[in-house]
Amino acid sequence: MIKEFLTERGEPGFHLVAGDASYVFSVVHGFLIHHYCGPKVSDDDVEYLMVQVHHDSTVPHPADVAEDWFSCDILPFECPGNGTGDYRPSAVSVSLAEAENAFSGTTATEVRYVSHEIVKGKPKLDLQPAVYADDDEADTLIVTCKDPATEVTFLFYYTVMKELSVICRRLVIKNQTKTKQPLDVLRAYSACIDFANIEPQAELLHLWGTWGRERYIERTPLMHGSLSVSSTRGASSHHHNPFAAIVTKDTTEESGMAIGISLVYSGNFDITCDMDPFGMTRLMAGINPIDFKWRLEYGESFVTPEVVIGISNEGLGKMSRTYHKLYRTHLCRGEWRDKERPILVNNWEATYFDFTDEKLLEIAKTAAECGIEMFVMDDGWFGTRNSSDCSMGDWWVNEDKLKCGLPKLVEQINDMGLKFGIWFEPEAISPGSQLITEHPDWVMQIDGRAKSLGRNQYILDMTREDVRDYLFDVMADTLSTANIEYIKWDFNRNLTEAGSSILPACRRQEVFHRYVLGLYELLDRLTTAFPHVLLEGCSSGGGRFDPAMLYYSPQFWTSDDTDAIERLDIQMGTSMVYPASTMSCHVSASPNHQTERVTSFKTRGDVAMGGAFGYELDLTLLSDEDKAMIKKQVADYHKYYRLVNHGDMYRLILPTDTVNGKCGKCAAWMYVAEDKSEALATFVVIRTSIHPVYFLKLRGLDPNAVYVDEATGKEYHGDTLMNAGLNLTKEYKDGESAVIHLIRK
């Protein structure tokens, strides 16, 4: 709901009510001044929250505002301009280009209110991925502002979800300058929230990582000055996820405030949290201004990626469940959004590059016997690719390896009752490939500068239409030769020497963003042309696991580290924002190939069951006992599919939590059906201790209902399970797990 009000000065104000959350701002002397963002408040006009104190003479005042307290350096803004009195990090900065006049080349930018309108639903602004909503699910406030000097126009979009505590923000910059000259956009953050009333000892929570260790949760106290999580790698990256949350020191999974900011973007991003000497805290998210400049001709618009603000007053758990629901139902799209995902077996960790059609057929045969539903042929099936140093771009079948050819292979696998999926890394090109010989200019490069190799390969210039056409055609051809029902879209290196031979000098800093737009365009074309194909994203594991990629691929390979114990941190961190249905998780071999850790088949299955489930090992080498275990896991996956993928997720114990000394180290989480009729809790002991005592306090149950433990038939009251806990005390060994299914009586 969007409530409008008039401030004491007679200027417009807005109270956006999204689910249980409020977001309030108003116009003050033409500036958009932020009042409040957080759990719901009843007052529309919380203008009193504005900091109206007199400051020392060092702070500047706008020329046309007489009131002494009004300084741009102090006030909370919706979109802080640049170089006109606010010395904190600015959200926008534009510069007039080419023709010479007083403003040309200067970066001062001011944002002043002109008008506003409210529309039903959520307008689709461009091709970039964004949350979608029907007219009865959301309202959108569009505020138009201008820079008074240059008349550059800024449109602020605020979409307010009715049922969920979510506000989506975007900024559009239009070149409607008086002089009609081109302008350069230098900074264009999608959203800024200036918290005036932040709790003392607030913290920033974010998800950091590296290859094989993605999305670890870190909380750090805010400091005077800037904290930033960002990427300059050309992808959202393993290193920082485009997400952060402001929490208080005592925010837990169950209680306290959490305000998340999640950027729907796959490229260079920045999330900055800046605290000034007065405790005013600015949280901004958007395209990273480093190596970014966008030329806008007169009449053109620049649309920023979307920011999704998720607000909770019931801790991190509720914030996560809000994102899960939104992203599962209003960001993921297509036929596979709600369909039960097939259990797959992928041959990567089974064979790496060393396979033949016969070997693949053997694995597929065992898979079919165990009830697995899809076979995925990973890297190594094309060109002459027997190692990572060749053939990227040469997307034709290696008939030395697949002697029967692709159509015949797929046919045989289909005949076993399995679907067939295939791996591509479309954005890559190898030195020595036929593609590079024919199109050396298709490589992302700067003429006269040596090109860095990453995983022995270069990157294609995705800003070029001809490159995208080639990739579409070659993938479409492959898909049309056989009954291929799944693609794993990999991306194994980041951008360097980011240059495109088709861009003029004044547009060369557009290349990172244009790359991402090119990627989206190709993904859009492919998913539109092949709506039945399930697309799984991948980037050396989870190096591009971001909301934007989920718009095209409803599941993403979570990490190349498939060790069940390592996966506890990775999957828990990923669950901070992303639902189970988006996290691809496989049972792999033991000892694990990445860590050499030995874990039981059961534990590997229990952990992988927390996402889009599959296997990634040579099934032909398994014992009968393990094969029997696969049959059970397959049955469990189907049995619990709805509960895990559509239920509410609760993180009960994080691996990093210090558990009561006598319990060693463990992790636990659970899913509860929306109507609370059943729940599934998973408990993993990472490192046991002497005579451990485990009471697992469950969450989200109906306190007044009685639940039956399906395995033992024992009955428990919901309130007892949540307040006293489930008694799991027994001598668990390191790495042992337990899964408890509770059904309401």
State both tokens at 300: 């053109």
Q: How far is the CB of 523 from ligand DGJ (least distance, A)?
A: 18
Let me know if 185 is exposed, middle or buried by CB neighbors in 10 A (0-12, 13-18, 19+).
buried
Q: How far is the CB of 381 from ligand DGJ (least distance, A)?
A: 11
Q: How far is the CB of 700 from ligand DGJ (least distance, A)?
A: 33
Q: How far is the CB of 492 from ligand DGJ (least distance, A)?
A: 5
Q: Which is nearer to ligand DGJ, 176 or 456 (CB)?
A: 456
Residues in the chain: 745
Q: Which is nearer to ligand DGJ, 189 or 423 (CB)?
A: 423
Handedness of CA 48, 51, 56, 58 (dihedral sign): negative
Q: How far is the CB of 378 from ligand DGJ (least distance, A)?
A: 5
Residue 271, CA atoms < 13 Å, CB-side half-sphere: 26
Q: How far is the CB of 539 from ligand DGJ (least distance, A)?
A: 7
The residue nearest ligand DGJ at its CB is: 379
Subset of residues 340 to 359 that bind ligand DGJ, contact rule: CB under 6 A: 348
Q: Which is nearer to ligand DGJ, 490 or 510 (CB)?
A: 490
Residue of 203, 314, 485, 490 interacting with ligand DGJ (CB under 6 A):
490
Q: Which is nearer to ligand DGJ, 230 or 558 (CB)?
A: 558
Q: Which is nearer to ligand DGJ, 47 or 490 (CB)?
A: 490
Q: Taking CB under 6 A as the rule, does residue 492 contact ligand DGJ?
A: yes
Window contacting ligand DGJ (CB under 6 A); options: 123-131, 164-172, 535-543, 712-720: 535-543
Q: Which is nearer to ligand DGJ, 25 or 423 (CB)?
A: 423
Residue of 357, 379, 569, 736 interacting with ligand DGJ (CB under 6 A):
379
Q: Taking CB under 6 A as the rule, does residue 378 contact ligand DGJ?
A: yes
In angstroms and rounded to an integer, the radius of gyration of the C-alpha atoms of the chain is 27
Q: Taking CB under 6 A as the rule, does residue 427 contact ligand DGJ?
A: no
Residue of 13, 541, 611, 718 interacting with ligand DGJ (CB under 6 A):
541
Nearest to 10 by CA among 154, 146, 113: 113
Give Cα 348 to chain centroid, integer Å.
25
Q: Which is nearer to ligand DGJ, 306 or 490 (CB)?
A: 490
Q: How far apart are the first and last CA of the chain?
A: 38
Q: How far is the CB of 349 from ligand DGJ (least distance, A)?
A: 8
Which of these is catalytic: 379, 560, 561, 606?
Answer: 560
Window contacting ligand DGJ (CB under 6 A); options: 157-165, 322-330, 537-545, 700-708: 537-545
Rounded Cα gap, residues 472 and 475, in angstroms: 5
Window contacting ligand DGJ (CB under 6 A); options: 32-40, 46-54, 538-546, 732-740: 538-546
Coil, helix or strand at residue 440 = helix
Q: Taking CB under 6 A as the rule, does residue 80 contact ligand DGJ?
A: no
Residue of 560, 569, 606, 648 interacting with ligand DGJ (CB under 6 A):
560
State both tokens at 131: 């949350």
Q: Which is nearer to ligand DGJ, 35 or 385 (CB)?
A: 385
Q: Taking CB under 6 A as the rule, does residue 457 contact ligand DGJ?
A: no
Give Cα 653 to chain centroid, integer Å.
23
Q: Taking CB under 6 A as the rule, does residue 557 contact ligand DGJ?
A: yes
Q: How far is the CB of 211 from ligand DGJ (least distance, A)?
A: 9
Which of these is catalytic: 86, 139, 270, 490?
Answer: 490
Rounded Cα gap, residues 336 and 731, in angstroms: 42
Q: Taking CB under 6 A as the rule, does residue 394 contact ligand DGJ?
A: no
Q: How far is the CB of 572 from ligand DGJ (least distance, A)?
A: 20
Subset of residues 697 to 716 that bind ligand DGJ, contact rule: CB under 6 A: none
Rounded Cα gap, residues 572 and 266, in angstroms: 21
Give the CA distances from residue 733 to residues 46, 562, 652, 655, 670, in Å, rounded to whole numbers and listed in that order. 56, 20, 20, 16, 21
560 is annotated as an active-site residue: yes
Window contacting ligand DGJ (CB under 6 A); options: 32-40, 95-103, 501-509, 536-544: 536-544
Rounded Cα gap, residues 219 and 216, in angstroms: 10
Q: Taking CB under 6 A as the rule, does residue 212 contact ligand DGJ?
A: no
Give the CA distances from residue 118 to residues 192, 277, 311, 480, in Å, rounded to whole numbers and listed in that order. 20, 36, 22, 46
SS3 letters across 332-379:
CCCCCCCCCCCCEEECHHHHCCCCCHHHHHHHHHHHHHHCCCEEEECC
Let me know if 66 is exposed, middle or buried by CB neighbors in 10 A (0-12, 13-18, 19+).
exposed
Q: Which is nearer to ligand DGJ, 518 or 543 (CB)?
A: 543
Q: How far is the CB of 363 from ligand DGJ (least distance, A)?
A: 15
State both tokens at 195: 């918290």
Window contacting ligand DGJ (CB under 6 A); options: 306-314, 533-541, 586-594, 606-614: 533-541
Rounded Cα gap, residues 114 and 491, in angstroms: 44
Q: How far is the CB of 518 from ligand DGJ (least distance, A)?
A: 21
State both tokens at 355: 């396979």
The DSSP secondary structure of 45-89, one letter per residue, reads: --GGGS------TTS---TT---TT--TTTS-BSS--BSSS--SP
CA dihedral 303, 304, 310, 311 (to 10 degrees): -90
SS3 letters across 258-281:
EEEEEEECCCCEEEEEEECCCCCE
Q: Which is nearer to ligand DGJ, 348 or 637 (CB)?
A: 348
Q: How many residues bind ligand DGJ (CB under 6 A)?
A: 11
Rounded Cα gap, residues 191 and 204, in angstroms: 17
Residue of 166, 192, 538, 653 interacting with ligand DGJ (CB under 6 A):
538
Q: Which is nearer to ligand DGJ, 226 or 351 (CB)?
A: 351
Q: How far is the CB of 544 from ligand DGJ (least distance, A)?
A: 11
Does residue 78 contact residue 34 with C-beta atoms inside 8 Å? yes
490 is annotated as an active-site residue: yes
Q: Taking CB under 6 A as the rule, does residue 540 contact ligand DGJ?
A: yes
Please report how the helices 406-415 and 465-481 are oriented relative to each other, as an axis angle in degrees rounded to 10. 50
Q: Which is nearer to ligand DGJ, 22 or 540 (CB)?
A: 540
Contact set with ligand DGJ (CB under 6 A): 348, 378-379, 423, 490, 492, 538, 540-541, 557, 560
Active-site residues, by number, are 490, 560
